[in-house]
Amino acid sequence: MKRQLGMSSLALVLLLLVIGTLILTGLNQQLDAFARIVSSERRSILQHAMTQSALEWGRNQLWPTVPDIQCRQALQGRVCLKVLGDNRVLLIAGSSELLLWRGGAILEGRVVFSPHGWSDFCPLKEAALCQLP
């Protein structure tokens, strides 16, 4: 009988070991999934911050009113100014696949941007005008 009690104890220990291994494997898979989500979110936030920084850099540049399309390379991305009809301008900043816009106008021969900030959607009806050249 003592032999059977020893075997059942060993079987119970092995069962607990298997269950613990399964639980730890599941937790590791969850941790990997969360790490991928956090990494993706971090890249997205960093890309948005860099594009917003490029847009602000472009806003502080002195832009001539001609030609109609002008582009400059910032450290954070590419910035272009498009002169539209009716003395309106559109500043476009992009890095990778993210684009941000800021509207403005030509007043007294100078480019002046709207004080209302940037936009994360195309402010024009024609989406083709909102792309970087």
pLDDT digits (tens, 9 = 90+) for 63-78: 988 888 999 998 888 9
pLDDT at 8: 81
Mean pLDDT, residues 29-53: 94
**CA nearest to 69, candidates 112, 124, 131:** 131
Rounded to an integer, what distance in angstroms lies between the CA atom of residue 66 and that of residue 18? 73
What is the average pLDDT value for the chain, to the nearest integer? 88
Which pLDDT band, with edges at 50, 70 and 90, does 1 fall under?
very low
pLDDT at 30: 97
The set of residues, in sequence order, having a beta carbon less than 8 Å from that of 99 and lying 6+ positions away, is 51, 92, 93, 130, 131, 132
pLDDT at 131: 84
Segments forming the whole domain that contains residue 12: 2-130
pLDDT of 89 higher than 70: yes
Give the number of domains in the chain. 1
Coil, helix or strand for 112? Answer: strand
Rounded to an integer, what distance in angstroms lies between the CA atom of residue 110 and that of residue 29? 57
CB–CB of 112/105 below 8 Å?
A: yes
CB–CB of 90/81 below 8 Å?
A: yes
Strands 88-95 and 69-73: unpaired
pLDDT of 37 higher than 90: yes
**Count of residues in the chain:** 133
pLDDT at 27: 97
